[in-house]
Amino acid sequence: MSLETSLTDQVGLIELNRPDRMNALTVDLVCALGTEAAALVDRGARALVLAGRGPAFCAGADLSLVDRALAEEPAPVLTPLVEELHRSLKRLRGLPVPLVAAVEGPAVGAGMGLALCADLRVLGEGARLVPGYLGIGSSPDGGVSYFLTRMVGSARALSLLLRNQPLGAAEAASLGLAEPPVPDGSALRSALELARSLASAPPLALLRVRELVDRATTLGLAEQLDLEQERVTELWKTHDFGEGVRAFLQRRTPAFRGD
């Protein structure tokens, strides 16, 4: 299979499994990505980790598809890949659980988009986020322009994309794109540890935090304050809010259950 999944202690693991092709993306793989992630949540996952097997996180689109597109009309060959990739990205961002990307080696083009789609990223010291698009006469897909601009601002995003500049793990961390780098070969282990800590957090509050941060870039201050009040008022009515407050007062670990 081009995708392997597992579920342990409420943490779902999704691994791109084409190591001989640097986990390059095919239509079948990107279709399965959204479906399998949703299935893990349905099975009880409260956090997800996305990783790639072998020396690369993801090399972007499979070159065999690109070669075929050059020999034929590009759109009929490449459009299904982009459409299904974007459908899966939307599905991943809509899941009510946090997603952590574990990145070893290069994450190129749409592979960079997959990494940026995650809520948090853990990079091995030798990992690289590589836009790659201008090098082949293309513009970004896979959400790269969206996520990168929101994370580092329009000026820095434009500079990185126009210069087609790869980002090493240390620079990505300095820009706020990733957690501090970890030794090569340990990104998955560190990402799983981070995901386990998130899985024990209150699920509804996590979802609202993500929503508020996403909306903050498009709303004015008054609208954002109104949204904050609306969301926190909703959370006051939940079991988890009461449990969190009681656990704090009683100096014990809260047992959040997601309602």
pLDDT per position as a tens digit, 18-31: 999 999 999 999 99
Q: Tell me, what's the pLDDT at 177? A: 96
Q: Both tokens of residue 168?
A: 């090493």
**What crossing angle do the helices spanning 74-94 and 63-71 adopt, rounded to 10°?**
140
Instruction: Give every CB contact of residue 185 below 8 A, 6+ residues apart in sequence.
Output: 104, 124
Beta carbons of 67 and 24 less than 8 angstroms apart: no
Evaluate whether 173 touches 187 at the Cβ level (below 8 Å): no
Give this prediction's pTM: 0.91
User: Which residues are paired to 107 by β-bridges?
Assistant: 58, 129
Rounded CA-CA distance 34/119 in Å is 15
Give me the pLDDT at residue 56, please. 96
- How far is the C-alpha of 32 from the C-alpha of 128, rounded, in Å? 25
SS3 at position 58: strand
Residue 14 makes CB contacts below 8 A (sequence gap 6+) with 3, 4, 5, 33, 36, 37, 40, 48, 49, 50, 51
Q: How far is CA 139 from the centre of its chain?
A: 20
Q: Which pLDDT does position 69 carry in this prediction? A: 66
CB 14 within 8 A of CB 5: yes
CA distance 102 to 124: 8
Closest CA relative to residue 24, chosen from 106, 131, 126, 129 = 106
Q: Check residue 70 and give its pLDDT.
A: 72
Note down pLDDT in tens along the chain; length 259 residues: 689 999 999 999 999 999 999 999 999 999 999 999 999 999 999 999 999 999 999 998 887 777 676 777 777 777 888 999 999 999 999 898 999 999 999 999 999 999 999 999 999 999 999 998 888 788 889 999 999 999 999 999 999 999 998 999 999 999 999 999 999 999 999 999 999 999 988 888 988 998 899 889 889 999 999 999 999 999 999 999 988 889 898 998 888 888 8
Structure confidence at residue 1 (pLDDT): 66
pLDDT digits (tens, 9 = 90+) for 241-257: 988 889 898 998 888 88
